[in-house]
Chains A and B, each alone.
Chain A
Amino acid sequence: METDMVTNSRAEVLRRVRAATGGTSDGAAAWIGWNGIAREYRRKGTRERKKVLALLEDRLRDYDGRVVRVTSEGVGQSVAEILAERGVRRMVVPVGLPVGWLPVSWMPPSAGGVEFVVDEGLSSHELDGVDGVMTGATLAIAETGTFVLQSVAGQGRRATTLVPDYHLCVVKAEDVVETVPEAMERLQEMAGLATTFVSGPSATADIEMTRIKGVHGPRFLDVILIV
């Protein structure tokens, strides 16, 4: 009986939709109609490369993210410096994070160095106990100051970039696009993956429209841009 009810609701809602729109839709007609939508907005950026990167930096900073530029050889060193400055002790990293991004000669935790914990299934409570997380990113969008994370090697599960209070994200310059449509085009192929757009640290303006950095997600955000 329960099943009947469920089936009936589905049939009834679809019947109402079809009665309202004048019959059952034809997939081919929908396809043609969709292709006919006027998309006269900017699809591709027009800025030169240097300016795109500068724009990304500007937009990230505008939303309280810190940005550091390094060459690919300098990532490990930069990570060591940033983490020392932030004073974090335990960092979680996803499976598949490039080893070259980790500090070359870091002190063992017993000697006061940063401990890197690989996420091999940490519980939410365990994640709550680490100081920060370090990941890569699929791409970044200059115009909006956004980087995009997906459930893939090097970026990890969504919870890891959410529960710890600090996020250090490494973005490669070649993964920076200028506009949102360029980003969606790149993401299309893997559209089924869990995907998170991050633009600055978590924030709220619910109290008198005052922007407050950091509510539930990471309150502190650094971005390393590999150029």
Chain B
Amino acid sequence: MSRGGLDPKTAPTFPMAAKAMLGDAQLRKNVRHATDVIQGKRARVVGEMPDWQELREAGKQIRRHTMEYLDFYLEEFEANCTRAGGVVHWARDAEEARRIVVELVKASGSDEVIKIKSMTTEEIQLNPALEAAGIHPYETDLAELIIQLGEDRPSHIVVPALHKNRQEIREIFQREMNLPELGDRPQDLADAARMFLREKFLRVKTAVSGANFLIAETGGVCVVESEGNGRMCLTLPETLITIAGIDKVLPRFQDLEVMLQLLPRSATGERMNPYNSIWTGVDAASADDGLRDGPGVFHVVLMDNARTEILADEEGRQTLNCIRCGACQNACPVYRQTGGHAYGSVYAGPIGAILTPQLQEMHHAQSLPYASSLCGACYEVCPVKINIPEVLIHLRNKVVKQNTAGVAGLFDVEAGAMKAMAMIFRSERRFRATQRLGRMAERPLVRKDERGQGWIGWLPGLLGGWTQARDLEEMPKETFRDWWERRGRDGN
């Protein structure tokens, strides 16, 4: 049961993918409903907090500080986790991370794993690698289960199946769980998932998880979830393998007092999500007396996978502050139109538009930094104050630099137009001449409407997108500049 991953290397450009999504009325309806509901819940519980802005500021400062001293905190985490009986591994890239996890699962003696929802494992496309090695992964988060059984792809960081409605989910469960009589009430569907997975929780001896936070001070790991599937995976198996980006570290236990307030309210609009698990290494009690709490073997894989590239870019670095709450996706008017798949990456929406190209070292996904109207709604809701519009602009600059470098750049139509316009704006004489020229050039395109006002309904080339759904009013016969000067002359 393999499914096509979201791979930025092969995904179509955003405008192309978005066009297809815009044609799917059901998907757009589902996305709109889900994002409306989460936004409403978030607004209510954020509104309860008189110190929300102070929490956001602290969140930002904690994350920025962590990045500044990342090597120190990573080593501290490693030392403390190791002391508590955990085994720490380091992976330079996705390939190495996959290899380490596959080997660890094999070493655990299991050919199946239960998995907690983890965007990091989606990022590195772990499931196909496990399957290729003869290991069956069971996704246990309800949404991820829907995605896995439906051979679909996640479209949201927190609610990966938000693009599916209950009827679509019922069809998948009826078919894959062999439950022809299954109803379509959400409760029926959740009960079916409980039945389907309980047997796996009790049987499978190896689990793979992501992490919300790694705590340097204690060597502990924190996972935030709702359904209890996370706790099952963290608690019942004999071997637990946690994979986390190196950006997930927090300096101290106390820092959770900020993150555990920011994350649930931003992510699901809850004051606190039902379950937060914090564990440190392995329980020292012996397995023999049966009183050991949790797995006896615990591995952590610390993965770079281009995060250090982002760290090295002063303006892009704040991208790493992200705590994966998805609030920016719910607030984004672009995401709300297209859903997540159009972004061609597990990280969709505004955060995806800045994270994905950087994880690709700007070699792929170059259309993503432009998948935003820069309206700023994402920045407004970000719990750690990542200035996403600022990073988008920064990445656009990088894209332009790449595209205009060398000989090919000389033939870049957009760059040529931009440079010409910049030239015009640098001189009043050229500016006025261009206004006159513009009036002449547009003349063949202008059609008079019933009021005698001239409008352009079709534009050529790069500008054609405008006239798909909009007209453009013709340039005025008398510019403001002319009017101002005439007014000065006439003494009016």
Residues of A within 8 A of B (CB): 6, 9-10, 12-14, 16-21, 24-27, 29-30, 33-34, 37-42, 59, 63, 95, 119-125, 128, 141, 143-146, 151, 157-159, 162-163, 180-181, 183-185, 187-188, 191-210, 212, 214-218
Chain B minimum-CB-distance residue to A187: B253
When distances are taken between beta carbons in the complex, the residues of chain B under 8 Å from A21 are 67-71, 311
Q: How far is the CA of A226 from the CA of B264 in the complex (A)?
A: 28
Among B31-39, B127-135, B345-353, B456-464, the one that faces the other chain is: B31-39
**Would you call B57 an interface residue if the criterion is a C-beta within 8 Å of the partner chain's C-beta atoms?**
yes
- Listed A/B pairs (12) with beta-carbon separation below 8 Å: A14-B75, A21-B71, A27-B72, A33-B68, A125-B202, A183-B257, A196-B277, A199-B270, A203-B226, A206-B146, A212-B186, A212-B187
B198 CB to nearest A CB, Å? 7
A16 contact from B140, B254, B273, B304, Cβ within 8 A: B304
B237-280 Cβ-contact flags toward A at 8 Å (1 or 0): 00000000010000111101110110010001011111111111
Q: With A30-B251, A207-B189 in contact, do A17 and B54 touch (Cβ < 8 Å)?
A: no
Residues of B within 8 A of A (CB): 30, 33-34, 37-38, 50-51, 54-55, 57-58, 61-62, 65, 67-75, 84, 89-92, 96, 140-143, 146, 159, 161-162, 165-166, 169, 186-187, 189-190, 193-194, 197-198, 201-202, 215, 217-220, 226-229, 231-232, 234-236, 246, 251-254, 256-258, 260-261, 264, 268, 270-280, 283, 289-294, 302, 304, 308-309, 311-312
When distances are taken between beta carbons in the complex, the residues of chain A under 8 Å from B218 are 191-192
Q: How far is the CA of A122 from the CA of B190 in the complex (A)?
A: 27
When distances are taken between beta carbons in the complex, the residues of chain A under 8 Å from B283 are 151, 194
B34 contact from A30, A121, A209, Cβ within 8 A: A209
Q: How far is the CA of A222 from the CA of B275 in the complex (A)?
A: 16
A192 contact from B50, B73, B84, B234, Cβ within 8 A: B84
Q: How far is the CA of A37 from the CA of B308 in the complex (A)?
A: 23
B197 contact from A59, A120, A158, A216, Cβ within 8 A: A216
Ranked nearest first, the 10 interchain pairs of A and B with the lowest CB-CB distance are A121-B290, A217-B228, A20-B312, A16-B308, A25-B72, A216-B228, A202-B228, A144-B272, A209-B37, A20-B311
The reply to whether A128 and B202 form a contact with Cβ atoms under 8 Å apart is yes
Chain B minimum-CB-distance residue to A182: B257
The reply to whether A215 and B71 form a contact with Cβ atoms under 8 Å apart is no
The reply to whether A197 and B275 form a contact with Cβ atoms under 8 Å apart is yes
When distances are taken between beta carbons in the complex, the residues of chain B under 8 Å from A24 are 71
B64 CB to nearest A CB, Å? 9
In addition to A40-B51, A185-B257, A207-B190, 8 A-B residue pairs with Cβ atoms within 8 Å of each other are A17-B74, A20-B308, A30-B69, A38-B61, A158-B277, A159-B294, A194-B283, A212-B187
When distances are taken between beta carbons in the complex, the residues of chain A under 8 Å from B231 are 158, 162, 196, 216-217
The reply to whether B311 and A17 form a contact with Cβ atoms under 8 Å apart is yes
Q: How far is the CA of A127 from the CA of B203 in the complex (A)?
A: 13
B258 contact from A17, A34, A41, Cβ within 8 A: A41
The reply to whether B69 and A209 form a contact with Cβ atoms under 8 Å apart is no
A37 contact from B62, B229, B234, Cβ within 8 A: B62
Give the interface centre of B197, B198, B215, B231 by most chain A CB atoms within 10 Å. Answer: B231
When distances are taken between beta carbons in the complex, the residues of chain A under 8 Å from B290 are 120-123
Q: How far is the CA of A29 from the CA of B312 in the complex (A)?
A: 20
When distances are taken between beta carbons in the complex, the residues of chain B under 8 Å from A184 are 253-254, 256-257, 260
When distances are taken between beta carbons in the complex, the residues of chain A under 8 Å from B311 are 16-17, 20-21
B227 contact from A183, A193, A202, Cβ within 8 A: A202
The reply to whether B197 and A192 form a contact with Cβ atoms under 8 Å apart is no
The reply to whether A33 and B246 form a contact with Cβ atoms under 8 Å apart is no
